[in-house]
Structure 1
Amino acid sequence: MLIEKSIAPSLDTLRPTKPTSSPTFPVYDHLEAALTKVEQQPDPTVAHTLAVASGYAYSDAETVSTMLARMGLTGAHCLGMHMTVDAMFIRSTAYLIQSSDGSVVILAYRGTEPTNVVNWLTDADVHPDKIAFPFPKPQGAEAVDADAYAVHAGFYRNVRATRFAVIAALKRALEGRSVLDDDEQTPMEPMEKPLTTLYLTGHSLGGAMAALMAVMLSVEEEYVELFAPVSKGAYTFGAPMVGSPEFAKACAAHEFLDRNVIRYVYRKDVVPHLPPSDSDDFQHFGREYRYDRSEWKDTSDDPIMQMSDLIGLVELPLGFVASKFRGLRGLPFRFSVNDHGPQHYISAITALTEGKTLNEFGDAHLIPAK
């Protein structure tokens, strides 16, 4: 497993050394406190911060830590964990970003890399695996072994690949240590505070991995006692479906997963409709927010459904070509590859701040055109 380590720049480094009329960083003052005090999800500051984390998870630890420093987590510690096994269709990347005082940790998973065929094969490995998840039983129900639920084999394999390294680092954070402090011979200085606030996030495949990890931390006995008190939520962007309708139903019956797994869907993004129903039965869980006509709407009562046929997949390349020509952009294609880009999610999420917030480059954000 490849490990990356980075410590984000300080505020003085981010700010310009000469007077300038351009906006300066950070985007949010006292971001650690803002992320900690949230009592009800979703929250616009959390959504904006996690959208940036999920988008830049496609980069490296230094870039991730720098972008989160610009958002307000200056001096943050960033640990990157990567495992690649091509024959097993594994290309798993997870970043842990820990605030400089130690109290807040963001777990961001990297999504599908369009240029990487292994990632595409991972997404296409849709045959479900039966996995035992010990969801709590209704009061009075007979105690039985954990029920087995069908989940996407490729997604589960990838989140499992880096899981133990992620858990080990999170345990260090709970002990008030740096997530980077993995050398027992030369330990780092302790953090000011132990972990009190944990968020999970990811775009595309990364969102699927974040959702599955949220389930593991919420129902598996060895993790619940440790992480339930600090877990605040999982925000996913353009994430596909991860499990069967029975799995989704069990998640919906779990109060934390039902209320604190937040799914954002940008316009006609095709990925939230995948895998197609021709491959197997899959269904979303959590609360859904859909972006259209320059605003986000809670569509939890009318959630995104599986693509019902393969015609939509055939449409995708045609829609992509049409999007490049002004005269063809109005054609009524049902799904879009273009709308899946993480940059669209970051730009649209800033609309939640109602024009009060800069983007990660320090510029006044622009609401995407209708």
Structure 2
Amino acid sequence: MTEVAFDHAATAYGLPHAHCLAQAAALAYHDADEVAARTAAWGFPMSRSFRVAHRPPFPLEDTEGFVAASDRMIVVAFRGTEPAELRDWLSDANAAQVPHSARRGRVHSGFAQALDAVYPELHEAVTAARTDGQSLWFTGHSLGGALAMLAAARMYFDDPDLLADGVYTFGQPRTCDPELATAYDEAFRGRMFRFVNNNDIVAQLPPEPLYRHVAAEMYIDSQGRLRDKKASFLGGAADRVRGHTADLFAPGADGVRDHFIKSYLAALGKLAG
């Protein structure tokens, strides 16, 4: 894994910080020992991994991630999953919604259940670590991005003192209905940055109009350039993939290659200089 230098005094958006948080999202795929060693090298003396196993018929094996803390910064990172494992979960038939815990719109039922499983432990870890008003950051790739976004929303709506300084996600799917997306955008304006790498298939699902992405989208085009793209750019693509999900999730498909965390790391590494 590439060495990065976290700026523990960061309080605002920046590409070097985005690259660091993408590295943290990638680290969430590793075991607790690797997490502890790597975060210590990044200047976080405290780390705490969390993992809760799910029982069938729930389609995911577990929900996991970590909390890392220094005296100036706390990072919460969620593990993602392989695109093929998300295929059926993000289809029309399985994209059922349930009320959000803060009673602000509705959210994908599977994402809600996955977050519910770890939320008490996560909340305790964050509040225990935040002893001196440290900045608070959430990150994740793929499913991990969806969980990072929802965890940040839940913490803030439950306790406004836990408003994240930033939420950076990479290849996250749509997670919620327009009502919750609007409430989220109002609360996290200037704090949420949702990176989408070119044709990333997961970022195009579940389909609109029941689901809507939150802002702000940071689109990495086919030339590796970063552009602000409106959600409507990918909205039409979601309609085109409806009913053809299996083919687009085939190994080697462009949308799958663009989804891999290593693709995000490579692109952001170049952009961050």
**1:272 Cα deviation from its structure 2 partner:** 0.6
Aligned partners of 1:350, 1:108: CA distance in 2, in Å? Answer: 19
2:148 to 197, 200, 210: 210
Aligned to 1:290: 219
**1:303 Cα deviation from its structure 2 partner:** 5.1
Aligned partners of 2:80, 2:10: CA distance in 1, in Å? Answer: 28
1:135-154 mapped onto 2 (5 Å cutoff): 147-154=103-110
Instruction: Tell me the amino acid that sits aligned with residue 294 of structure 1.
Output: G
**Larger radius of gyration between Structure 1 and Structure 2:** 1
Aligned to 2:9: 36
Q: Structure with the greater relative contact order (CA < 8 A, sep ≥ 6): 1 or 2?
A: 2
**1:45 Cα deviation from its structure 2 partner:** 2.2
Aligned to 2:201: 270
**1:349 Cα deviation from its structure 2 partner:** 0.9
Residue 197 (structure 2) pairs with residue 197 (structure 1) = no
Aligned partners of 1:313, 1:123: CA distance in 2, in Å? Answer: 9
**1:249 Cα deviation from its structure 2 partner:** 1.9
**1:300 Cα deviation from its structure 2 partner:** 4.0
Residue 244 (structure 2) pairs with residue 316 (structure 1) = no
Aligned to 2:46: 77
2:119 to 163, 174, 177: 163
Aligned to 1:345: 264
Instruction: Report SS of the residue matched to 2:56.
Output: helix
**1:297 Cα deviation from its structure 2 partner:** 1.0
* CA pair 114-243 structure 1, distance change in 2 beyond 3 A: closer
**1:27 Cα deviation from its structure 2 partner:** 3.5
**1:314 Cα deviation from its structure 2 partner:** 4.5
Instruction: Report SS of the residue matched to 1:346.
Output: helix
* CA pair 312-289 structure 1, distance change in 2 beyond 3 A: farther
Residue 36 (structure 2) pairs with residue 106 (structure 1) = no
Q: Does the 8 Å contact 2:140/2:170 carry over to 1? A: yes
TM-score normalised per structure 1? 0.65
Instruction: Tell me the amino acid that sits aligned with residue 76 of structure 1.
Output: P
* CA pair 149-317 structure 1, distance change in 2 beyond 3 A: closer
**1:148 Cα deviation from its structure 2 partner:** 4.4
* CA pair 120-78 structure 1, distance change in 2 beyond 3 A: farther
1:241 to 170, 174, 182: 174
* CA pair 27-56 structure 1, distance change in 2 beyond 3 A: closer
Q: Does the 8 Å contact 2:101/2:154 carry over to 1? A: no
| Deviates most, 53-62 or 203-212 | 53-62
Aligned partners of 2:36, 2:207: CA distance in 1, in Å? Answer: 36
Aligned partners of 1:317, 1:151: CA distance in 2, in Å? Answer: 23
Q: Does the 8 Å contact 1:112/1:120 carry over to 2? A: no
Residue 65 (structure 2) pairs with residue 131 (structure 1) = no
Instruction: Report SS of the residue matched to 1:82.
Output: strand
Residue 37 (structure 2) pairs with residue 66 (structure 1) = yes
Percent identical pairs in the alignment equals: 25
Render the CA deviation track for 1:138-159: whole Å, top value 9, x for unaligned.
xxxxxxxxx4411100011111
**1:195 Cα deviation from its structure 2 partner:** 4.6
**1:286 Cα deviation from its structure 2 partner:** 1.9
Aligned partners of 2:45, 2:146: CA distance in 1, in Å? Answer: 25
Instruction: Report SS of the residue matched to 2:124.
Output: helix
Aligned partners of 1:204, 1:98: CA distance in 2, in Å? Answer: 23
**1:260 Cα deviation from its structure 2 partner:** 0.9
**1:66 Cα deviation from its structure 2 partner:** 3.2
**1:88 Cα deviation from its structure 2 partner:** 5.7
Aligned to 1:51: 22
Aligned to 2:229: 299
TM-score normalised per structure 2? 0.86
Aligned partners of 1:63, 1:110: CA distance in 2, in Å? Answer: 14
Aligned partners of 2:26, 2:3: CA distance in 1, in Å? Answer: 18
* CA pair 105-303 structure 1, distance change in 2 beyond 3 A: farther
* CA pair 289-60 structure 1, distance change in 2 beyond 3 A: same
Aligned partners of 1:169, 1:314: CA distance in 2, in Å? Answer: 38
**1:259 Cα deviation from its structure 2 partner:** 2.0
* CA pair 132-304 structure 1, distance change in 2 beyond 3 A: same
**Structure with the higher fraction of residues in helix conformation:** 2
